[in-house]
């Protein structure tokens, strides 16, 4: 697990066997990247609202009330479960 404290500029990496690495002195607001991806930090309420919006859009598509590009629909279908899993994993740790 990777924990980022944006206020203090500290990154803590917890590895599977209990090892911990800490990096200090990072500037607040520095982008977090993994390859071409960028992190979006959401609190639980924001994630819940965004998840409901995704469900609503996909529900409207299923009813034939809304049309979007197939690639966009595929992306929403892929990101929804990842979004919902963000805080479930954290609460189980």
Residues composing the chain: 93
Which of 17-21, 27-31, 78-82, 89-93 bottoms out in mean pLDDT, i.e. has the lowest?
89-93
Higher local confidence (pLDDT), 30 or 58: 58
Q: Does residue 69 sit in helix, strand or coil?
A: coil
CA distance 55 to 61: 10
Q: What is the pLDDT of residue 39?
A: 79
Q: CA nearest 13: which of 26, 1, 27? A: 1
Q: Please state whether beta strands 37-38 and 2-5 pair in parallel, antiparallel, or not at all (unpaired).
A: unpaired
Q: What is the pLDDT of residue 85?
A: 82
Query: Which tokens is 83 given?
Result: 């979004």
Condensed to tens digits (0 to 9), the pLDDT of residues 41-90 reads 888 899 999 999 999 999 999 999 999 999 999 999 999 888 888 777 54
- In the chain the first and final C-alpha atoms are separated, in Å, by 10
């Amino acid at each position: 697990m990777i924990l980022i404290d944006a206020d203090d500029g500290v990154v803590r990496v917890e590895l599977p066997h209990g090892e911990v690495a800490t990096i200090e002195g990072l500037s607040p607001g520095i982008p977090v990247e993994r390859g071409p991806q960028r992190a979006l930090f959401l609190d639980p309420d924001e994630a819940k609202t965004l998840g409901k919006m995704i469900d609503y859009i996909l529900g409207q598509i299923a009813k034939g009330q809304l049309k979007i590009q197939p690639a966009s629909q595929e992306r929403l279908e892929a990101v929804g479960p990842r979004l919902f899993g963000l805080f479930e994993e954290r609460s189980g740790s």
